[in-house]
Each structure stands twice: as C-alpha cells, then as structure tokens.
C-alpha cells in the first residue's frame, strides 16, 4: 500500500513539474517571481513546481474587437466596430511580461488604439468613413498605433473597420447623393449614345451625298450616248415589232399598246 502511494505521489510530482508549449505560443519561465530572459519554444518542458512556473504567451495573430464612437471632423459621433489584428514578438515576450504584464491588451493595446483612432478620425468627415476613404482611415490608425508601440514587442498587422453606423439624417443624405450621382451617370450614358447615333447618321448621309455626286459627275454626254447605242443594239435583237423614235442621241420605245418606255439599262426615267 505504501508503495502504491509512493508511486502516485511520484507521478503527481512529475505531472505537475512538466508542461507543453504548443505551436503559436512561447513559454517564459518565472522563478521566485523573476522572468527568464530566454523564452521556451514549442515542446515538453520540465520545471520545479515549488519554485518555478512557466507563463505561456500566444505569438500568433490575435484579433481584438472593439466597439466605440468615432469623432468626425464636423463633431459627430459615429458608432463603429473595429478589429485590431496584432501579434507578440516571441523574443520580446519576457520584456512584455516584466514591463506590462500578461494583460497587455487592456493595459497597452486598447489605450493606444483609443488615442490613435480619436486622433485620426477627427481629420475626416463622417461621410468619408462610409466611402472609399475607409481604407485610408484604417491605414492611418495602424501607422499611428505602430508608432506608439514601437519597441514594445507588439506588432499591429491591420486595423479593420467592420461596420459603421451613421446618424439617420446623414445616412439618408448620403444615399440621396449617391442616387443623384447614379442618375447623372445614366443620363450621361444616354447622351453619349445619342451623340454616337447622330454621328452615324451624319456619316451615312455624307456617304449617300458623295455617291450621288460621283454618279452625277459620271453622267456626261459621252456616257449617255454610249448608253443610247447599247439600247439600240438591245432593241435590234428583239423579235417583236417596235416603233423607235430618236433624236439621234436617246431612243424612245413605243410598246405594243403605244406606251412609252425606256430600256432599263440606260439608267433614265421611264
């Protein structure tokens, strides 16, 4: 019985004197309240449970979500939900625990964020936070936080504005402006189509006019006389009896019923 108790005590001691540091975190050994300078990486680590503990610090990307009011340039308060993506530098984990503690989000990151966001958002109008300027605002907040946290071992990867809740009157005014811009763009498109259609018709009319000018310029007396000769030759080949009246230049054909006709290949009116 004593042997079993001894084994159980030994197992309990062994289990309490080891810990596993997982991927995405580092372990910092604290002996008699003093943190070691070198952090542990992932793996099984042994320590004396009576004098030492191992504090684990996550070093992968963390997402800190904050809801707050953003002051705008015109003095409005814009309700926003913002995500702060950050990570802890593994080699700086002992320094962070010494100077800040393990509650570094509330002690450092959040106050720095509130200061940076108040400074940056006050430079922009409320409507800018709802348009393409949002990316500019996010980048400016990230740069401001990076500057304030320089050398502390906390890297700000991104600041993302997830949602913006504008005052009702302002939101309605922005929507009306966007609708007016869309109507103006549609009207401009219609006007451009009308201009293109008018240009097409003008070019078509010029083409018809040029063709008529070429045809009229080509119908000189010599061409007309040549066409007349062609007409006489075609009539001579016909087996029907016809009466031909001519002034020596152009033939006039009288059909069986005495109607006047001109050969179609002369290009002249009947």
User: What would the pLDDT profile of 52-92 be if each residue is shown by its tens digit?
Assistant: 888 889 999 999 999 988 888 877 888 889 999 999 999 99
The reply to whether 257 falls in a domain is yes
Which tokens is 197 given? Answer: 């259609």
The reply to whether 69 falls in a domain is yes
Query: What DSSP letter does each residue of 214-247 carry, written as one string?
Result: HHHHH--HHHHHHHHHHHHHHHHT--S--EEEE-
49 and 133 in a single domain? The answer is no
Which tokens is 118 given? Answer: 């108040």
20 and 78 in a single domain? The answer is no
50 and 67 in a single domain? The answer is no
Which domain range does residue 116 map to? Answer: 62-169
**Which of 138, 169, 200 delimits the end of a domain?**
169
Q: What is the total count of domains within the chain?
A: 3
In percent, how much of the chain has pLDDT > 70? 72
Distance CA 100, CA 34 (A): 14
46 and 116 in a single domain? The answer is no
CATH of the domain at 107: 3.30.479.30
Tell me the pTM. 0.57
51 and 71 in a single domain? The answer is no
Distance CA 258, CA 267 (A): 21
Report the candidate in 86, 102, 210 with the shortest Cα–Cα distance to residue 149: 86
Distance CA 91, CA 96 (A): 10
List, for residues 211-250, the tens digit of each pLDDT value: 777 777 666 666 666 667 777 677 667 676 666 666 555 5
**Which of 37, 57, 77 delimits the end of a domain?**
57
The reply to whether 203 falls in a domain is no
Dump strand ranges (E) for the chain: 18-21, 25-31, 34-35, 43-46, 52-58, 62-71, 77-88, 154-165, 243-246, 251-254, 260-261
Q: How many CB atoms lie within 10 A of CB 61?
A: 13
Report the pLDDT value the prediction gives residue 252, as an integer from 0 to 100: 54
Report the pLDDT value the prediction gives residue 86, as an integer from 0 to 100: 95
């Amino acid at each position: 019985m004593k042997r079993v108790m001894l084994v159980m005590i030994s197992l309990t001691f062994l289990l309490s004197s080891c810990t596993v540091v997982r991927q995405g975190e580092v372990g910092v050994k604290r002996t008699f309240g003093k943190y070691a300078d070198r952090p542990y990486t992932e793996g099984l680590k042994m320590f004396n449970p009576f004098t030492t503990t191992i504090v684990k610090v996550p070093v992968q990307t963390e997402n800190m979500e904050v809801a707050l009011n953003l002051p705008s340039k015109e003095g409005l308060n814009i309700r926003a939900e913002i995500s702060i993506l950050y990570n802890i530098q593994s080699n700086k984990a002992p320094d962070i625990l010494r100077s800040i503690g393990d509650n570094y989000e509330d002690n450092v990151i959040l106050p720095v964020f509130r200061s940076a966001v108040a400074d940056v958002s006050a430079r922009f109008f409320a409507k800018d936070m709802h348009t393409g300027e949002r990316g500019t605002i996010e980048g400016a907040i990230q740069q401001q936080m990076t500057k304030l946290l320089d050398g502390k071992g906390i890297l700000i990867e991104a600041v993302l504005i997830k949602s913006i809740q504008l005052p009702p009157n302002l939101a309605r005014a922005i929507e009306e402006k966007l609708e007016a811009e869309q109507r103006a763009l549609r009207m401009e498109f219609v006007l451009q189509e009308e201009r293109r259609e008018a240009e097409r018709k003008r070019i078509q009319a010029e083409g018809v006019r040029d063709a008529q000018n070429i045809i009229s310029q080509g119908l000189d007396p010599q061409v007309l006389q040549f066409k007349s000769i062609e007409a006489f030759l075609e009539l001579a080949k016909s087996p029907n009896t016809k009466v031909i009246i001519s002034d020596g230049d152009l033939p006039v054909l009288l059909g069986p019923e005495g109607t006047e006709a001109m050969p179609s290949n002369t290009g002249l009116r009947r």
